[in-house]
């Protein structure tokens, strides 16, 4: 097999993994909203981490005794960032539509990338993203102030998650890094899971749903994203990740019967185009810098 053909196959597989991860994570988010009434968003997120971490540790059996300082730092950064990201995200989707939450979530890393390189092109892209946000937050869109704040907070965690997941993917093998990172997230959020254990044990159907969500999002979703990030260039990953709002709007419409207005199409399109432009430029610059070293 030629190196070029092998590279194409790796890129195709990486794109497939990342798309699978996006679908599974947003699909699980739609399913988990049915548990919010019983446990609340924070406890639901905590149980998702706890059950997902148990599955990953049992399957991978990470050999942490052989780990070095860099591996532990990467896993700690990923665990903390993903715990913060998901806690904010679940608070957001408990208050606002799924698609709008993901679109606003994406604004966190977008703003950081946009203002990291102040060019005329980026100024235009920031303006385009601003038009998208105005369209999404129009009166009657179903957004609330706290929902938007939590979604933007999740965006800050998302930016840290992407950076730390790249690092974990580079310094660990297989799914060991993911298993340790999710275990750290489970420990950080443990007070919420312990405080709601009695409610969950008395509702087996809710426990089954949270278990399903944990497997879908943490084991399959995050696992697929990690495999994808290992196979594609950072610039390609940036473009693929920018499709998350569209996936979220579709799943929210399909599974949660959340209405999609014409302004939602305008808003998510503007946010996606601006995000693709800014994150692609940023990731491409990083890739060129790495090649020059």
- How far is C-alpha 257 from the geometric centre of its chain's CA atoms? 22
- d(CA 72, CA 131) in angstroms, rounded, equals 41
* Residues 166-220 pLDDT 10s: 788 778 887 899 999 999 999 999 999 998 999 988 999 999 999 999 999 999 9
Confidence check: pLDDT of 92 > 80: yes
Cα–Cα separations (whole angstroms), residue 34 to 29, 115, 254: 10, 38, 15
Report pLDDT digits (tens) over 222-253: 889 888 877 777 656 666 777 788 888 889 88
CB of 255 within 8 A of CB of 229? no
73: Cβ contacts below 8 Å, ≥ 6 apart: none
- Report pLDDT digits (tens) over 249-273: 889 888 998 887 888 888 888 877 8
CA separation for the pair 47, 193 (Å, rounded): 5
pLDDT band at 2 (very low <50, low <70, confident <90, very high): low
pLDDT above 50 for 290: no
Question: What share of the chain has pLDDT > 90, as a percent?
Answer: 42
- Name 4's Cβ contacts closer than 8 Å, sequence gap at least 6: none
Report the share of the chain in percent with pLDDT over 70.
84
The model's pTM is: 0.84
Q: Which pairs from 242-245 meet CB under 8 Å and 24+ separation?
A: 242/106, 242/272, 242/275, 242/276, 242/279, 243/19, 243/22, 243/272, 244/22, 244/26, 244/102, 244/106, 245/99, 245/102, 245/103, 245/106, 245/271, 245/272
283 pLDDT band, cuts 50/70/90, is low
CB 30 within 8 A of CB 98: yes
Higher per-residue confidence, 242 vs 52: 52
Higher pLDDT, 21 or 13: 21
For 103, the token pair is: 């679109």
Output DSSP code: residue 36: H
- pLDDT at residue number 111: 62
DSSP assignment, residue 215? I
Contact assessment for residue 175 and residue 227, using Cβ atoms and an 8 Å cutoff: no
Which two tokens mark 286?
């990083």
Q: Is 139 left (phi over 0), alpha (psi -120 to 50) or beta?
A: beta
In this predicted structure, the answer to whether residue 108 has a pLDDT above a threshold of 70 is no
Sequence ranges of the domains in the chain: 3-292
Tens-place pLDDT, residues 134-159 = 787 776 777 898 999 999 899 888 87
Q: Find the mean pLDDT for residues 98-111.
A: 78
């Amino acid at each position: 097999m030629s190196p070029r053909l092998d590279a194409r196959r790796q890129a195709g597989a990486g794109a497939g993994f990342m798309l699978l991860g996006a679908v599974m994570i947003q699909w699980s988010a739609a399913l988990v909203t049915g548990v919010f009434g019983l446990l609340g968003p924070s406890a639901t997120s905590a149980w998702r981490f706890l059950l997902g971490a148990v599955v990953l540790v049992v399957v991978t059996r990470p050999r942490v005794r052989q780990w070095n300082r860099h591996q532990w730092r990467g896993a700690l950064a990923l665990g903390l960032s993903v715990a913060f990201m998901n806690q904010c995200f679940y608070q957001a989707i408990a208050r606002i539509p799924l698609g709008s939450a993901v679109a606003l979530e994406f604004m966190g890393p977008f703003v950081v990338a946009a203002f990291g390189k102040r060019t005329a092109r980026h100024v235009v892209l920031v303006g385009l993203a601003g038009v998208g946000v105005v369209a999404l937050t129009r009166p009657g869109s179903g957004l609330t102030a706290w929902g938007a704040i939590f979604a933007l907070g999740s965006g800050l965690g998302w930016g840290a998650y992407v950076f730390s997941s790249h690092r974990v993917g580079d310094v660990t093998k297989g799914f060991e890094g993911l298993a340790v990172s999710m275990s750290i997230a489970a420990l950080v959020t443990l007070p919420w899971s312990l405080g709601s254990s009695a409610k969950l044990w008395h509702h087996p159907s809710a426990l089954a749903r949270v278990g399903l969500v944990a497997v879908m999002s943490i084991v399959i979703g995050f696992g697929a994203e990690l495999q994808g990030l290992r196979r594609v260039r950072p610039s390609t990953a940036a473009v693929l990740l920018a499709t998350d709002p569209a996936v979220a709007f579709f799943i929210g419409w399909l599974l949660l019967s959340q209405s999609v207005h014409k302004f939602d199409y305008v808003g998510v399109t503007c946010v996606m185009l601006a995000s693709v432009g800014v994150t692609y430029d940023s990731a491409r610059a990083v890739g060129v810098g790495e090649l020059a070293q």
